[in-house]
Amino acid sequence: MGRIKRASLDAEEQSFQPTTLGDLAKDKVDILCWCNRCSHNSIIQVVVLLGRLGPTFPVPEIGVYMRCISCGAKDVAARPAWPSLGKITIHS
């Protein structure tokens, strides 16, 4: 990849801000934590973490502080638990 294109992509990436706990609390969206080792997952209510970490804490960094209750690994990813669109029954 060319130097100019790489610089442009890096600048664009730096302009993105991760979603914060305050953003999720405002939208009433909880947090999905996923163990990258055993695939165990759990949804944590945003209000529980909001009181401990504060509204400006970035959601992707929550996984660093988590431990899987199934296998004990610290390799946990966190993301918003966006509502499902429901079961897809027909594909066109």
On whether the CB atoms of residues 35 and 41 are closer than 8 A, the answer is yes
Query: Is residue 28's pLDDT more than 60?
Result: yes
According to the model, what pLDDT value does residue 39 have?
Answer: 95
Q: Give the model's pLDDT for residue 14.
A: 74
pTM of this prediction? 0.73
- Please say whether the beta carbons of 56 and 19 come within 8 A: no
Domains present along the chain, CATH in parentheses: 18-80 (2.20.28)
Q: What is the pLDDT of residues 32-49, one digit of tens each?
A: 999 999 999 999 999 999
Tell me which amino acid residue 62 is.
I
